[in-house]
Amino acid sequence: MRLKTLPIFSASTAAILSVAILTTSVAEACTRFVYLGENDQVMTARSMDWKTDVGTNIWVFPRGMERSGEAGQNSIKWTSKYGSVIASGYDISTTDGMNEAGLAANVLWLVESSYPAYDGKSPGLSIAAWAQYALDNFATVDEAVSALEKNPFTIVTDNVPGEERLATLHLSLSDATGDSAIVEYIDGKQVIHHGRQYQVMTNSPTFDHQLALNEYWKQIGGTVMLPGTNRASDRFARASFYANAIPKSENPVEAIASVFSVIRNVSVPYGITTPDQPNISSTRWRTVIDHKRKLYFFESALTPNIFWIDMTKLDLSKETGVVKKLDLGPNQIHIYSGMANESLKDTKPFKFLGL
């Protein structure tokens, strides 16, 4: 299912607000938004909010890697067409990243996710490799959506490491043209919202309900009042307003500063706890992707500096490119500053969590 236009909602917004308050109380908190600036500048920012260390490191993957969907005997197989820079989760999954064509992929928590039952006979793809599949195979959002809407695989999920609950995620895609797509699985069916207007994604409720909630706040106007809690629907409203309220600077340094200021605005303060909302979690790290200049910025909540990887200075070729890793340490406490390409170390690729 592909949804190209903004849905029209009736007076059910109040009911949706009630549902949002209930559902976001049990949702992990992350935010993603796309900045559309002057001179074709496009930047994608995201926060990673989790209650424990998510075991993140930065990885570089060259073209030509042989991949498996890690879903058993009938796993989907592919060879990576594009090199990429990614942030891992527990070094068993891709949570965030950009490929050399300028396509970005981010996975965020969505408790309402419900994936099709997997019979082991059709091509299967581990949810841990969902974002990487997009980065390896597609140059643009439109290309990715055209392929994904044909349902080339069945998503197979598993328990979050160290927990007794299944990973329930949705996927956002953005590219150098400013195009976006949000991919969710609701009641076992894939739903794709595709269009440049879909700049923001958070968590619960489902994306169509988030759009309805945001319509309510747009009528009030962000200069009058914005919701200020850590709930996903409130962060959605703030990110939606600020993504288009910040100046459209022609200076990329100023644009990066504005984008970081917005993603910090929708972050959850480190160490915060909410007794009646135990799964609203501290922001662990933030990334900003500069699609035009092919820069991948990273900021840990526990270090004083921002650093970046310059993809234009990496060897991503099939012939001579090698897998590299930037070790961020426990809770991402290792300190890097400025361009960190030289700190990348050759290593073996991690294996995606699967069956």
The DSSP string of 163-174 is: SSSB--EEEEEE
Residue 142 corresponds to which tokens in the numbers above? 């439109």
Closest CA to 128 of 79, 199, 55, 47: 55
Cis peptide preceding 205, ω within 30 of 0: yes
Instruction: Tell me the CB-side half-sphere exposure of residue 139, using CA atoms within 13 A.
Output: 3
Alpha helices in 138-297 (DSSP H): 141-148, 207-220, 232-245, 252-265
> CA-CA distance, 92 to 349, in Å (whole number)?
10
Q: Which of 30, 85, 169, 182 is catalytic?
A: 30
Distances (CA, A) of 140 to 37, 43, 174, 175, 306: 18, 14, 8, 6, 27
Backbone angles phi, psi at 87, to 5 degrees: -105, 130
Whether the CB-CB separation of 205 and 19 falls below 8 Å is answered with yes
DSSP state of 283: E
The question of whether 216 is a catalytic residue gets the answer: no
Question: Counting Cβ atoms within 10 Å, is residue 248 exposed (0-12), middle (13-18) or buried (19+)?
Answer: middle
Residue 329 corresponds to which tokens in the numbers above? 């340490």
DSSP state of 346: E
Residue 234 corresponds to which tokens in the numbers above? 């409130």
The DSSP string of 300-324 is: ETTSS-EEEEEGGGS---TTT---E
> CA-CA distance, 27 to 233, in Å (whole number)?
11
Active site residues: 30
